[in-house]
């Protein structure tokens, strides 16, 4: 009788960059910010001179301030959801959640109330950061309609007001985060049933990004539309390729 399979693995062939054995999302940002603090890290994807830019040192500072603010409302290990289109605050929040030892739950901004309620409830999200609407989908109204059915959802904040929310955060020591700690929960589309949550760990996210960048041959100094799942190459820049206002089209 054949025994049940308990472990499966793929033996790498030695190509590609070496895996980082103790990497974390926030730790990788700190490393790159130390190496190239003044190089552009993030650019808001607006076709105007007023679009915002962050150097690596600025992105790290904003992410650490966000992390300290989050820990005023959540305990390390809790789940925090984001429900918004692509905007720079999404990236800052992603790193802030990682540095705070929380787990980010990504919610598709096209979802309707019942769909969002399932994901927020199934993921046991303790809070959510959102924008008022995306392409006519009224996210704030949706959350108001379902919040009473989500007893674990303690906090609802506006992601597009992140600067104001984090403006007066007191200094505090951030927790130690491990490479095997959960960093994100991403959900399938739910085409053939309820969406299924996939837990992604810090080390897996960082190494997946490194391998992806190596495979598509993004140079060290470049603009990248990759959704900032982790620091990729020292000195690469991210283009946040969506407007800052939800009324405009996002990609």
Q: Three-state SS string across the chain, please?
A: CCCCCCCCCCCCCCCCCCCCCCCCHHHHHHHHHHHCCCCEEEEECCCCCCCCEEEHHHHHHHHHHHHHHHCCCCCCCCEEEEECCCCHHHHHHHHHHHHCCCEEEEECCCCCHHHHHHHHHHCCEEEEEECCCECCECHHHHHHHHHHHCCCCCEEEEHHHHHHHCCCCCCCCCCCCCCCCEEEEEECCCCCCCCCEEEEEHHHHHHHHHHHHHHHCCCCCCEECCCCCCCCCCCCEEEECCCCCCCCCCC
Q: How confident is the model at residue 234 (pLDDT cuts 50, 70, 90)?
A: low
CATH of segment(s) 25-240: 3.40.50.12780
pLDDT tens profile 142-177 = 999 999 999 999 999 999 999 999 999 989 899 999
- What is the three-state SS of 233-251? CCCCEEEECCCCCCCCCCC
- How far apart CA 212 and CA 228 sit, in angstroms, is 12
Residue that has been written with the tokens 């603009």 in this structure: 223
Q: Which helix (H) or strand (E) holds 232?
A: none
- How far apart CA 169 and CA 74 sit, in angstroms, is 14
Domain boundaries, the chain: 25-240
pLDDT tens profile 51-90 = 899 999 999 999 999 999 999 999 999 999 999 999 999 9
At residue 186, the 3 state secondary structure works out as strand
Single pTM value for the model: 0.85
237 against 54, higher pLDDT = 54
Please report, rounded to a whole number, the percentage of residues in the chain having pLDDT higher than 70.
85
Residue that has been written with the tokens 């692509």 in this structure: 86
Contact 151, 126 (CB under 8 A): no
pLDDT higher than threshold 50 for residue 236: yes
């Amino acid at each position: 009788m054949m025994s049940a399979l308990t472990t499966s693995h793929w033996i790498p062939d030695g190509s590609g960059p070496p895996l980082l054995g103790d990497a974390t999302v926030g730790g990788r940002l700190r490393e790159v910010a130390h190496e190239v603090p003044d190089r552009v890290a993030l650019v808001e994807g607006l076709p105007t001179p007023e679009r915002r830019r962050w150097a690596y040192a600025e992105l790290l500072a904003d992410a650490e301030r966000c992390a300290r603010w989050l820990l005023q409302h959540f305990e390390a290990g809790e789940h925090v959801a984001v429900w918004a289109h692509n905007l720079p605050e999404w990236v800052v929040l992603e790193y802030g959640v990682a540095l705070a030892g929380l787990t980010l739950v990504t919610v598709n901004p096209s979802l309707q109330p019942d769909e969002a309620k399932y994901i927020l409830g199934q993921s046991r999200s303790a809070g959510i950061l959102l924008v008022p609407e995306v392409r006519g989908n009224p996210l704030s109204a949706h959350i108001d309609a379902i919040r009473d059915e989500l007893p674990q959802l303690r906090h609802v904040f506006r992601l597009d007001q992140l600067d104001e929310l984090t403006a007066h955060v007191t200094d505090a020591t951030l927790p130690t985060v491990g490479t095997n700690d959960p960093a994100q929960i991403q959900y399938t589309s739910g085409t053939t049933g309820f969406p299924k949550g996939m837990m992604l760990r810090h080390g897996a996210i960082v190494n997946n990004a490194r391998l992806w960048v190596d495979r598509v041959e993004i140079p060290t100094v470049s603009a990248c539309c990759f959704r900032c799942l982790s620091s990729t190459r020292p000195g690469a820049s991210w283009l946040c390729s969506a407007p800052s206002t939800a009324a405009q089209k996002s990609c």
